Chain A
Amino acid sequence: MTKLTRRALLGTMGATAAAAALPAMPAFAADRTIRHYWWGNPERDKRTFAVIDTFQKKNVGIAVSGETIGWGDYWTKMATQTAGRNMADLVQMDYRFLFEYVNRGALKPLDEFVGKSLMIADFDKGPLDGGKVDGKLYALNIGSNSQVMVHNTRAFQEAGIDADLINWTWDDFAKACEKITAKSGGKMKGSDDLSLMIETFESWVRQNGREFYSPDGKVTATAGDVTSWWQMWADLRKAGVVRDKNKTVILDPPIAESGIAVGDTAMSHYWSNQLVGIQAVAKDKIGAAMVPHKAGGKPGQFIKPSMFLSLSRDAKDTAAAIAYMNAWVNDPEITGILGLERGIPCSPKIRAALAPKLTEVEKLSVDYFTAIQSKVGPLPVPAPKGAGEVRDAFMRIGTDVVLGKVEVAKAASTFIEDAQAIIERAQ
């Protein structure tokens, strides 16, 4: 029990939630313990600890120890635990990192449990297949999502923005930024500066008709793509309609510090499952817009598995772990607690059960999800090994661009060269 407390407290953000959840844990009686590790935010941690509670009540004899931490530190801790052969039994996995971890042999395939202790036969095939690598299921989809431009509906209304937020273009976006900044007298800028967001940049590349990575794991984005992206934001910065550059270069800030949460800006880029978490920290009512389109371009956005649950190589009690995993996607009480916070579930039954009980913001994310179905492109191939490092390089080199210390075109070709070298070295 003391062990459990200590671990739970390690998660900075989950600490309070953990303390609240502790009294209810019948862990004294438990002789089987599994660890579940996820990246979270206060809202997600609260729900997850409630799930753990419920699961333990229903499965006396299995204790679940929850470990949570913010996205920024998640992968560092995960890597350390992987190296120390001390991974949690169940780890939350991201599409971007799935390939890397499978290739390192850090995850166990789930195929042998499917149909026996893991019941997923009636789940949507597309989202489920996102967790497959080389034909084997390594990651169970626990929600799907897509990119979203979260916006402040009050600011939009006051500035009189009437653009169609599903079909709008980058021009509409720039105009909206101008209007909002002008309306607020510069106090609220139109948008966060997305220069360093490789996630949004990937949509940009797709709008130009290319993928960031080819199926054989080469970098296919061009220096031209990067230049046009950084140049667009440089122009917006010059016009003074996006967030201050010194805020922009703070990497991976927690949701509570985003422009939309603190009221610095009227738009930020996020993933659609994060709508719930953002609304929890934002003062005004939020709305969901698509990433602006390129006039006459290809669809850039895509629907992807937002999060997976994976069984780690270090899991000892796989039966208990799989039971927990199965409850996550099938138990009506547990899926009810989770709601849509991690994304849209891929079980039609669960979706139907959730529909009548949705909160306003959950309804927003479902409606948004429905509206974009025909506007998105196909799911890109899983990122090759080294993609995490490419993301770092993008932010590192982009920082100099945002601060105006290097010429855009030069930085762009440096980035493409670096990205290619990183991928080549990682293989």
Chain B
Amino acid sequence: MKRFFARNAPAYVFLLPWLIGFFLLALGPILASLYLSFTRYDMVSAPRWIGWGNYEYMFTRDRRFWKALEVTFTYVALAVPARLIMALGVAMLLDKGLRTIGLYRAIFYLPSLLGASIAIAILWRQLFAADGVVNQVLAMVGIQGASWITDPDTSLYTLVVLAMWQFGSPMLIFLAGLRGIPRDLYEAAEIDGTPGWRQFTRITLPLLAPVIFFNLVLQTIDSFKTFSSAFIISNGTGAPADSLLFYTVYLFNEAFKFFRMGYASALAWFLLVIIATFTAIAFFTSKYWVHYENERD
């Protein structure tokens, strides 16, 4: 016991702010929302216990719930790979050893800082409006652009592009990962005359696997929780025609527009299950494709 403390005390001291925050601020609401998910609660009168009623309605009768899942899954399936490929690509370019790398790193990271902000979402709406910048540029080269944001067929893709543009934080992690790959491996490959793309598939990717895995999990969780950009661009409703009805936007509307806190809590808990499932799948399959350098098998 004494040894445990001697060894771990510093860690717990560092964890303390988070632990205090978690127990004081987060745990209570989390448990409350679990309870509320089994009730009907309009925020004014007291919650009424209805057992599995909310979950039953969700799966059997709520068409918009399925629509929200469809939108969110499509988004995650497109945005996560797009962002990771973009991040890895840029990281590899920067890894070539530019002298002003610090500056470039900062510049490329900038969109990630701005991307979650309301201002960028509004800007995005302007860019992709029927008479926005994107269409004006397209018109210059003779292409008649679509009405990207107001057309349910294309609105989701504008958000995927937005997600792609926010590649900053996975890029930094990739960059750190790339730096960790021993140079002599490439030198050896160079001497053997291995072409560049084979160096990439045989050296870079396998050695980067832990980092890719880390980024994949983080970005997947992040994408499932996408809210502010979709909320702003769709005017808070998931419009046009529910094509931007992200799960979180639907949840927000159920809770704060239609006063169905109980149902919204149920939705929130199901989102937790979805994210947990995907994370679990990622961890479970990781042993087949992620190898750590210090592992000996």
CB within 8 Å of B: which residues of A?
72-73, 75-76, 79-80, 82-83, 104-106, 244, 246-247, 249-252, 313, 386, 388-389, 392, 395-397, 399-400, 403, 405, 421, 426
Given contacts A396-B238, A403-B241, could you give 10 more A-B pairs where the C-beta distance is less than 8 Å? Answer: A76-B236, A82-B44, A83-B259, A104-B45, A246-B130, A247-B130, A251-B239, A399-B240, A405-B241, A426-B258
Asked if A249 contacts B239 (CB within 8 A), the reply is yes
Interface string of B25-62 (1 = CB under 8 A from A): 00000000000000000111100000000000000010
Q: Is B95 an interface residue (CB 8 A)?
A: no
Asked if B241 and A388 make an inter-chain contact with CB atoms under 8 angstroms apart, the answer reads no
CB-defined A-B contacts under 8 Å, sample of 30: A75-B257, A76-B236, A76-B257, A79-B256, A80-B256, A82-B43, A82-B259, A83-B255, A104-B43, A104-B44, A104-B45, A105-B45, A106-B44, A246-B130, A246-B147, A249-B241, A250-B235, A313-B44, A388-B257, A388-B258, A389-B257, A389-B258, A396-B237, A396-B238, A396-B242, A399-B152, A399-B239, A399-B240, A403-B241, A426-B258
Q: Determine whether the beta carbon of A403 is less than 8 Å from that of B256.
A: no
Chain A: minimal CB distance from B57 (Å): 8
Q: Indicate if B293 sits at the interface (CB-CB under 8 A).
A: no
A252 contact set on B, CB distance < 8 A = 235
Q: Indicate whether B220 reaches chain A with its CB closer than 8 angstroms.
A: no
B259 & A104 in contact (Cβ 8 Å cutoff): yes
Q: Give the docked Cα–Cα distance between A76 and B152 (Å).
A: 24
Q: How many angstroms between the C-alpha atoms of A400 and B67 in the bound complex?
A: 15
> How many Å lie between the Cα of A403 and that of B130 in the bound state?
14
In the assembled complex, the Cα of A386 lies from the Cα of B254 at a distance in Å of: 12
Query: Nearest Cβ in chain B — how far from A303, in angstroms?
Result: 29
- Interface range, B side: 20 to 34
Q: Give the docked Cα–Cα distance between A392 and B239 (Å).
A: 10
Given contacts A82-B44, A105-B44, A246-B130, contact A403 B152 (CB under 8 A): yes
Which residue of B42, B151, B241, B258 contacts A246 across the interface (Cβ within 8 Å)? B151
User: From residue B259, how far is it (CB to closest CB) to chain A in Å?
Assistant: 6
Report if B261 contacts A (CB, 8 A): yes
- Whether the Cβ atoms of B261 and A83 lie closer than 8 Å is yes
Q: How far is the CB of B181 from chain A (nearest CB, A)?
A: 49
Residue B223 CB within 8 A of the other chain? no
Query: Could you tell me if B150 and A246 are in contact, using CB atoms closer than 8 angstroms?
Result: yes
User: 3 closest Cβ contacts across the A-B interface?
Assistant: A246-B147, A104-B44, A399-B241
Chain B window 235-253, contacts with chain A (Cβ cutoff 8 Å), 1 for yes, 0 for no? 1111111100000000000
Q: Cα distance A421–B256 when bound, in Å?
A: 20
A392 touches B240 (CB 8 A): no
- Could you tell me the distance between the alpha carbons of A21 and B44 in the complex, rounded to whole angstroms? 35
Please, which residues of chain A bring their CB within 8 A of the CB of B238? Answer: 396
Q: Which residue of A lies closest to B63 (CB)?
A: A418
Residue of A with least CB distance to B45: A105
The CA of A249 and the CA of B256, in the complex, are separated in Å by 23
Across-interface contacts of A104 in B (CB, < 8 A): 42-45, 259
**Smallest Cβ distance from A45 to chain B, in angstroms?**
21
Given A76-B256, A76-B257, A104-B42: A405 in contact with B152 (beta carbons within 8 A): yes
From residue A308, how far is it (CB to closest CB) to chain B in Å?
19
Chain B stretch 158-181: residues in CB contact (< 8 A) with chain A:
none
Whether the Cβ atoms of A403 and B151 lie closer than 8 Å is: yes
CA distance A247 to B149 in the complex (A): 11
| List of A residues within 8 angstroms of B152 by Cβ | 399-400, 403, 405
* Shortest distance between the CB of A176 and any CB in chain B (Å): 26
Minimum CB–CB distance for A107 against chain B, Å: 10
